[in-house]
Structure 1
Amino acid sequence: MASPYSVIKVGGAVLDHPNALANLLTALAETRTPFVLVHGGGSQTDHMLKQAGYQSEKINGQRVTPQAHMDIVTGALAGTVNKRIVGIAQHAGFKAVGLSLADGPLLYMQRNHQLGCVGEPSIENQDGIGATLLTLLLAQGFLPVVSSIGVDQTGQLLNVNADYAAAALANVLGARLILLSDVSAIVDATGKPLSVLAFSEAQRLLQQDFILGGMKVKLAAALLAAERSRRITAIAGWAQPESVIALLHGEYRGTCILPAK
């Protein structure tokens, strides 16, 4: 039987539009649908790194994170951004609880040494701790708000791409995945929005030159979830709460990727 839960990921850029986040969460609170909220925080992290005199770079949409940056990245994502979202969610009517991927841990990580202190969720080696903790919270009516700071087996804190983190959490919960962005859908080479994609079509799209950076990562994460959790995954816009609610009710909005056959 399919999980009753969903995993919704919002990018940190939504905090540049706090009224939009408040409107989204208020609309979601009215549905009384249980979900896990995963967030990034790229713009806030960039700002705090710049204030500290650091320059940051990305490779294929993922932030290179030297050890010297980790205290700032952790403070930005698991501290400032997480607690701001928790506060907005509580004001919208949720019993919101701030977590990071390191708590529990929700996910076990493998370190990507090419990117520094960057973690990638271990797909095969999850022992159920994350699913147990999240299910306990969800069953009691709490909203888990999860930042993308993880930890490896040595205790090293790691920066994790939030799209990949959301996909991995959807997999361990068997949940529906909705990745929210500042665009309402993936578009093709001509700029036409793509509505529903078969798994194989999405795989081919991922190889196209015009799919770059953050959207490439988002599409790869959606494919991972569609393959592993066997659920339809969606990429949609956070500025359209009605579309997000429709997705929770099983309708097609944004770009929906069908599970692998």
Structure 2
Amino acid sequence: MDPRTLTDLLNRVKDATCTVEEAMQQLTGFPSEIMEHANLDHQRHLRTGIPEVIYGASKTVEQIITIARAMLKRASPVLVTRVDPQKAAKILCSCPELEYHEPAGLLCANKADVRMQKTRGKALVVCAGTSDIRVAEEARLTLELFGHPVGSLYDIGVAGLHRLFYRQQLLHEASVIIVVAGMEGALPSVVAGLARAPVIAVPTSVGYGASLGGIAALLGMLNSCAPGVAVVNIDNGFGAACMAHAINCDYSDDAPQ
């Protein structure tokens, strides 16, 4: 349950448009709902600003369906990550409310209204090569689901750096930038040397043998010569989006008076 939903429910109880009994029924399973294979944390959105998210890669179709159905009963965003097309097709038969984004491997529903989410500006997702788009799209779509305006700039790696220079205005306008790159992982350093916004680097497992499944890109990003670059785990577009969400949310109205 997200903060707006809970606030609306409490206001309706206060205005006598909802009885206490009706409110208690809506709060069934709050703050957590114990299930056969999961313990669903309905309070996470209130605590952290990020809803419970289903990691789909190692879960069965039946497990995902059960958890997703419980989440769909709530008004908060629903996100299932790392879902292949075959698994997604089976899940959609039971949960047609979900929408599948194949390039990112995401199932989602109940996208937050960008007009309701107070943000510091527009986020930007950048990736070095076409092979990195899967991870970049995971980051972009996650941010969109959380209610952020997001732009994208793909296939502008350092092998053809002029492609980035032609689009510098997008870097200057962004409030937070996620940079996704494999191979030697050099692009985040370049972007951080051009932009004022915080840069979140995402190494990918794209590359030839000596890339070691993304280790080379990870180490390159951790050793960035540009100051202030934050680095998440290999292929972790979702984690980068969560970090960007925390940076880009405007919580000024929530500050104690």
Q: Same-fold call, TM > 0.5?
A: no
- Return the index of the structure with the highest Cα Rg: 2
TM-score, length-scaled by structure 2: 0.33
Q: Which of 1 and 2 has higher RCO (CA within 8 Å, sep 6+)?
A: 1
Give the structure with the higher percent strand.
1
TM-score by length of 1: 0.33
